[in-house]
Amino acid sequence: MIILEIRRFEKKDAEALAKIVQRNFLEVNIKDYTKDKMERLAAQYSEKKILEIAGLSHMYTAVAGNGKILGCGAISYNWGKKGESLLMTIFVDPDFHSLGIGSSIVQRLEDDEIYKKTRKTQVPASITACEFYKKMCYDYKEGKKEVDAQGHYIMEKYR
């Protein structure tokens, strides 16, 4: 069993989190998307990109009891949509998938003040992550399972 702390993001986390996100694109999501697309996304998710996301959101880091960074997630207001929040950049180290860490991250995001102040939360889910979000009680936007221009399913939950 992993002892897990999910705490607010610190700048020193950016390098490890960038590597986790990149690994997910190149090792996990590549099963559902083209290699070229995943390589481009991995190249975009540098430390700088993680710091940008953290600056625009409430970002959290999942840390094992031994100090190893295992994942992340962020929540923000949904770009000018009153009463809506947005979950983003939810990733877990591929070596630690299926251990409940992703669920713990989402639960922490749903405990955040932004989530509590909004009535609807959306998440742009990769093809790979749809079933995970279904288990977390998110459903396809307007009940329609369709991919947007970025290759995501928009999933949502109402409070």
| CA–CA separation, 114 and 116 (whole Å) | 5
Write the CA distances from 19 to 22, 26, 85, 121, 139, integer angstroms.
5, 10, 26, 27, 29
Question: Does the pLDDT at position 28 exceed 90?
Answer: yes
pLDDT class for 159, splitting at 50, 70, 90?
confident
- pLDDT at residue 102 in the model: 98
Max alpha carbon distance in the chain (Å)?
Answer: 42
* pLDDT, tens only, 46-92: 999 999 999 999 999 999 999 999 999 999 999 878 899 999 999 99
- pLDDT at residue 81 in the model: 85
- pLDDT at residue 2 in the model: 85
Q: How high is the mean pLDDT of the chain? A: 96
Percent of the chain at pLDDT above 70? 99
Is the distance from CB of 73 to CB of 90 less than 8 angstroms?
Answer: yes
How do 69-77 and 58-64 pair as beta strands? antiparallel
Domains for the chain: give ranges and CATH numbers. 4-158 (3.40.630.30)
Sign of CA dihedral 2, 24, 75, 119: negative
pLDDT class for 149, splitting at 50, 70, 90?
confident
| CA–CA separation, 104 and 13 (whole Å) | 18
